[in-house]
Amino acid sequence: MKGLNCYVISYDIMDQKRLHKVHRTMKGFGDPIHYSVFRCNLTDKGKVELIVALTEIIKHDEDRIMIVDLGPLEGQVEERIVFLGAHPPDSELKAVIV
């Protein structure tokens, strides 16, 4: 889909309550691929909405979120992601935020 970039987002949240809230929020934007790691296919607007949502949840002096842009979805995203061992089936990677 044009206009979508693939992002890998990981987080380290110090408080259990905030951790659950971040996880629930992330499920609205993408698919979990590991514990505290999500893959999200987002437009520029979707990325801004995600950042705003997470910014409202975390404590900026305690928690950390990393957002890695893997580039356009119509590019070669699948070739830039390498799994060793078990990996999520394609059917688990389905969320798209437009």
Residue 17 pLDDT exceeds 90: yes
Between strands 5-12 and 96-97, the pairing is unpaired
User: Tell me: the pLDDT tens digits for 35-69?
Assistant: 899 999 999 999 999 999 999 999 999 999 999 99
Between strands 37-42 and 96-97, the pairing is parallel
Q: What does the pLDDT read at residue 1? A: 60
What DSSP assignment string belongs to 49-68?
Answer: HHHHHHHTTS-TTT-EEEEE
Q: How confident is the model at residue 81 (pLDDT cuts 50, 70, 90)?
A: confident
Task: Tell me how far apart the alpha carbons of residues 18 and 63 are, in angstroms, rounded to a whole number.
Answer: 9
Instruction: Give the domains, in start order, of the chain with CATH numbers.
Output: 5-97 (3.30.70.240)
| pTM of the model as a whole | 0.82
